[in-house]
Amino acid sequence: MLHSFIKDGFDRGDKAFHLVNPELREEHLKRLAKAGINVQDAMDTGQLEVRPWQDAPLRGGRFDQEAWLESFEQVLQSGPAAGYAQTRFLAHMEWALVNLPGVEDLIEFETRVNYVVPKYDDIVICAYDLSKFGASVVMDAMRTHPVVIVGGLLQENPFFIPPDQFLLEIKERRPARESFRTVRRRQSRRATSHLRFLQQH
């Protein structure tokens, strides 16, 4: 499904922006070439941008959703500015599994993306590897997307929740999440103290 989506975009002359795992970037480029895309030419002309996570959501060694929302919108704006009628934005979302500050704001960010995308005539796909994300994250992520691809089929999402409503739900969850973090920190300190005690004897 994604290969045909990508190839169709190039055939139509759309701009492509891909956000990928830096360790898999070369493999991603090879797949594009195998699909019949002249990768080097597309990159030279600016039609194709393939960015590693560190150059986008994880810039600076953390996830700053305010900064990335601004950068994300700039990407969508850059297409028309360069003469492209449409931008096809593809993000592999495993960056949210990296142990860095701020990644816990993933769902809030995904919700807020719904304030940006409707302003542009672009296609945005967030690709989640279901074998790597927990069920609760996948369900929440699904609730932030009005349209989903499941089993290779594009369909309207009956679980979608408008951003105003979902942001309120996230805000209500926050005290419980902060309480859980406090407990985890205390447990970690106890475990560390106990470990040090054992090491000293």
Express each pLDDT in 113-168 by its tens digit: 999 999 999 999 999 999 999 999 999 999 999 999 988 888 999 999 999 999 99
Q: What is the C-alpha separation between 169 and 174, in angstroms, rounded? A: 9
pLDDT tens digits for range 154-198: 899 999 999 999 999 999 987 755 544 554 555 545 544 444 444
Are residues 187 and 129 both part of a single domain?
no
- pTM, 2 dp: 0.84
Report which of 40, 51, 53, 41 is spatially closest to residue 18, judged by C-alpha positions: 51
Q: Does 112 share its domain with 17?
A: yes
Contact 143, 158 (CB under 8 A): no
Same-domain pairing of 157 and 192: no
Q: Which CATH number fits the domain that encloses residue 145?
A: 3.40.50.300
- Whether 1 shows a pLDDT value over 70: the answer reads no
Residue 134 is part of which domain span? 2-161
Domain count, the chain: 2
Task: Please report the beta strands in the chain, taking only residues with DSSP state E, as ranges in sequence order.
Answer: 15-20, 48-52, 87-92, 123-127, 147-150, 153-156
> In terms of domains, do 178 and 105 share one?
no
